[in-house]
Amino acid sequence: MSRIALVGGTVLTMDDDATVHANGYVVIDGDSIVEVGSGTPALRPDDEVVDTADQIVMPGLVDLHYHTAIGKGFSDHLPLWEYLDTAWYPLIRNLDADAAYWAAAASYLESIQCGVTTVNDMYRRLPDLARAARDIGIRAVLSNDVALEEHNIDKLDDNRAAYQEVHGLANGRVEVYVGIEWLPLADPELLQGARALANKLGTGIHIHLNESLTEVEDSKKRFGKRPTEVAYEAGILGPDCVAAHCVWLSDREIALMRETGTHISHNPSSNAKLGNGIARVPEMLAAGINVGLGHDAAECNNSRDLFEVMKFASVIHRANRVDSSLMPAPDVVRMATRNGSAALKHNTGQLTAGMKADVIVLDTQNPMFTPLIHGDANHIYSHIVYSANGSCVNSTIIDGSFVMRNRKLTFMDEKEIVRKANEGFQRVLKAVQANS
Ligand SMILES: [Zn+2]
């Protein structure tokens, strides 16, 4: 396979020094980045040279809290708990294998189109999701929706079986974590079981934690403690754990997250749409907690565009605290790239030699990037966070392969994905109605 050399663009490396090359290059060999710099690289005769003039070359985005989604645009005005009971759980309980595959493909399609190269996807039927990730080319960490048996979702045994079947698939692009739906559908014994399973498999944990005030009240009522305290005592927290949302953390809960090295996925647009509140992200960052960004699910966000999430992650805290100095654009881009990657222990999130080649190319010849001062890093970060959206993504490279090139999907047919995902939804909806 010939090497790929992206030359002539503005290269936003997101490396330790936040280096930006105004006229830079990135050379990819196999699944890895082998060279990054300014000017012209030493090319080999069979290198595939891609001209990225008037484009920004940057690390792919990491969507740190994600659910494959099948039916967005329904029950859009309900609070979280009622929404889950009336829309989300009935749909995922009636999911068939084909519907799961195409729902995942449609979800990953939108993400790839918006420059997302990694998803941390908690859902059901992981082998079908894994095949969709393999076929479309995305990097995916998958976990089950594990809850107590009476809730009729997934069990730890499902998660164990999924790990054994698909962990490591597609050159290691697919991994399996242990997932816990959320505390209202769990108890300390189930959390302890999830920790034991993760340790036994040597894998990580993905959990919804402290998402809503009703969750906090339910936890205090059932266990006499706040959600993060229950998770801490059950041993769930740790450097291999991604906790999603964490909206209503007390000072003590922030300290527990910090003490255990737990990673947090901040999902501001989902939290806003569901009326769940605004997470204390400035305090989390001040405490030294690693915080990445997630869209959550298209059912509770409606868009998988992580550019939109980046903008929310900055502006929502400024509005809330009446302080325009909060959450500056370079920090937010770092959250969407390096921080997400660090949470999943991936060798991605920055463009440096030796990293896996997860790279996106943004077009700047459009009003989103006008005017543009080439080489002015802060100006470019601002455009990415406050002005751009996913439609500026020209190409998405994952594990060294173009999975989308000039807006065209490489390995699957976009129209077929949309058609099959729609058919799958209709079938699942009929099953929901027949079984209700
Ligand atoms: Zn979620």
Question: Residues 385-431: pLDDT tens digits?
Answer: 999 999 999 999 999 999 999 999 999 999 999 999 999 999 999 99
Predicted pLDDT of residue 83: 83
Predicted pLDDT of residue 156: 98
- HSE of 277 in the Cβ direction (CA atoms, 13 Å)? 15
The rounded Å distance from CA 87 to ligand 1 centre is 14
Taking residues 280-302, report their average pLDDT.
96
The rounded Å distance from CA 157 to ligand 1 centre is 21
Predicted pLDDT of residue 76: 85
Amino acid letter at 402? F
- Which residues of the chain does CATH 2.30.40.10 include? 4-60+350-405
Write the DSSP assignment of 33-76 as a string of letters. EEEEEES-----TT-EEEE-TTEEEEEPEEEEEEE--S-TTSST
pLDDT tens across 81-139, in order?
888 888 888 899 999 999 999 999 999 999 999 999 999 999 999 999 999 999 999 99
pLDDT at 433 over 90: no
The rounded Å distance from CA 329 to ligand 1 centre is 25
Judge contact between 219 and 182, C-beta under 8 A: no
Judge contact between 247 and 285, C-beta under 8 A: no
The rounded Å distance from CA 241 to ligand 1 centre is 15
Write the DSSP assignment of 136-166 as a string of letters. HT-EEEEEE-B--GGG-SB-HHHHHHHHHHH
The rounded Å distance from CA 397 to ligand 1 centre is 26
Q: Report CA-CA distances (Å) from 234 to 81, 190, 191, 237, 291.
A: 24, 9, 6, 8, 22
The rounded Å distance from CA 304 to ligand 1 centre is 13
Alpha-carbon distance of 50 to 27, in angstroms, equals: 10
The rounded Å distance from CA 182 to ligand 1 centre is 9
The rounded Å distance from CA 296 to ligand 1 centre is 5
SS3 179: strand
Predicted pLDDT of residue 300: 87
- 73 band by pLDDT with thresholds 50, 70 and 90: confident
Judge contact between 360 and 349, C-beta under 8 A: no
pTM over 0.85: yes
- Which residues of the chain does CATH 3.20.20.140 include? 61-343
Predicted pLDDT of residue 74: 81
pLDDT at 151 over 90: yes
- 435 band by pLDDT with thresholds 50, 70 and 90: confident
pLDDT at 308 over 80: yes
**Topology annotation, domain 61-343:** TIM Barrel (3.20.20)
CA quadruple 218, 224, 225, 230: dihedral sign: negative
Judge contact between 271 and 245, C-beta under 8 A: yes
The rounded Å distance from CA 66 to ligand 1 centre is 6
The rounded Å distance from CA 381 to ligand 1 centre is 27
Predicted pLDDT of residue 19: 96
The rounded Å distance from CA 370 to ligand 1 centre is 35
pLDDT at 1 over 80: no
Taking residues 180-208, report their average pLDDT.
97
Q: Report CA-CA distances (Å) from 340 to 143, 286, 300.
A: 16, 17, 20
The rounded Å distance from CA 65 to ligand 1 centre is 6
CATH among 2.30.40.10, 3.30.420.10, 1.10.275.10, 3.40.50.300 for 4-60+350-405:
2.30.40.10
**Of 407, 353, 317, 299, residue with least CA distance to 69:** 299
Predicted pLDDT of residue 87: 83
The rounded Å distance from CA 98 to ligand 1 centre is 22
Predicted pLDDT of residue 374: 79
The rounded Å distance from CA 119 to ligand 1 centre is 12
Residues of the chain above pLDDT 90, percent: 92
Q: Report CA-CA distances (Å) from 429 to 107, 230, 246, 436.
A: 18, 36, 31, 11
Alpha-carbon distance of 22 to 57, in angstroms, equals: 10
